[in-house]
Structure 1
Amino acid sequence: MAKTEYRIYVVELHKKVYTEHRRFRAANPQFNGVLECLYVGMTSKTPKERLKQHKTGYRNSKGHNLSSSIVKKYGSYLRPSLYNHIDPITSRAEALKMEELLALELRRKKYAVWFN
């Protein structure tokens, strides 16, 4: 059986998320409005498939909602230039850590970023 590979991905969010979503705004005090608002995630699907799941409100077989309400409402499109340099990762724990590292790096660059 093939080992699961996880990919990190970035979705550009509409800037309305910053004014309309209090928790998003609170998580990004460094944001100055110049760069974009972003969502960073990790997936065992392709980033394109995962974005489609977010936009359609995907639920798994147990009925659990696996889509981010922020991406569903504000997600625009994928930003491959911000994640293509990251190779697929075979450990879920390492992928979660990489998701966080990328999100924090993008915040340091003055993007507004949401991640789980």
Structure 2
Amino acid sequence: MPRRPRPHHHHVYVVLLSQQVWNEPAFRHANPDHDITKPCVYVGMTGLDPDLRFDRHMAGVQANRFVLKYGERLLPELYEVYNPMPYEAARDMEVELGIALREKGYGVWQA
């Protein structure tokens, strides 16, 4: 019996970070052209539902330090249009979305 293709289940996601993240030297260094009128965000990719992945960050499970300390909420308006997708596409889209947001002036952190 032939294997059925698995449905795409990878996602990119964007977390709004508190403006307090700007006090972190590593974050400032990664965002020299940050427009202070734009938010600071974390861009990630996951095989989980983005809501579940955010909850895991906030619980300290495989958490990015900036999301754990400064994470406020997801910004689905910045990523929902892309999801779901195959793993390779999500891996690439995570980088592309981070670049696109940084070019728009967002402060961006990616793991």
Over the aligned positions, Cα root-mean-square deviation in angstroms equals 1.3
Query: For this pair of structures, how many residues does the alignment match?
Result: 107
SS state of the match for residue 80, structure 2?
Answer: coil
Q: Does the Cα contact within 8 Å between 2:31 and 2:108 map onto a contact in 1?
A: yes
The correspondence of residues 38-53 of structure 1 with structure 2, limited to 5 A, is 38-53=41-56
Q: Name stretches of at least 5 consecutive residues in structure 2 with no aligned partner.
A: none
Given candidates 105, 108, 111, the residue that maps to 1:110 is: 105
Q: Name stretches of at least 5 consecutive residues in structure 1 with no aligned partner.
A: 59-65
Equivalent residue, structure 2, for 1:37 = 40
Equivalent residue, structure 1, for 2:21 = 17
The reply on whether 1:79 has 2:75 as its aligned counterpart is yes
Amino acid of the residue matched to residue 112 of structure 1? Answer: G
SS state of the match for residue 85, structure 1?
Answer: helix
SS state of the match for residue 81, structure 2?
Answer: coil
SS state of the match for residue 13, structure 2?
Answer: strand
Equivalent residue, structure 2, for 1:68 = 64
Amino acid of the residue matched to residue 53 of structure 1? Answer: R
User: Displacement, 1:106?
Assistant: 0.2
Amino acid of the residue matched to residue 9 of structure 1? Answer: Y
The reply on whether 1:7 has 2:1 as its aligned counterpart is no
Structure whose CA Rg is larger: 2
Q: Which TM-score applies when normalising by structure 2? A: 0.90
Q: Which TM-score applies when normalising by structure 1? A: 0.86
Please list the CA deviations of residues 28-60 of structure 1 after superposition, one character each: whole Å capped at 9, or x if unmatched: 0111311100000011111110000000111xx
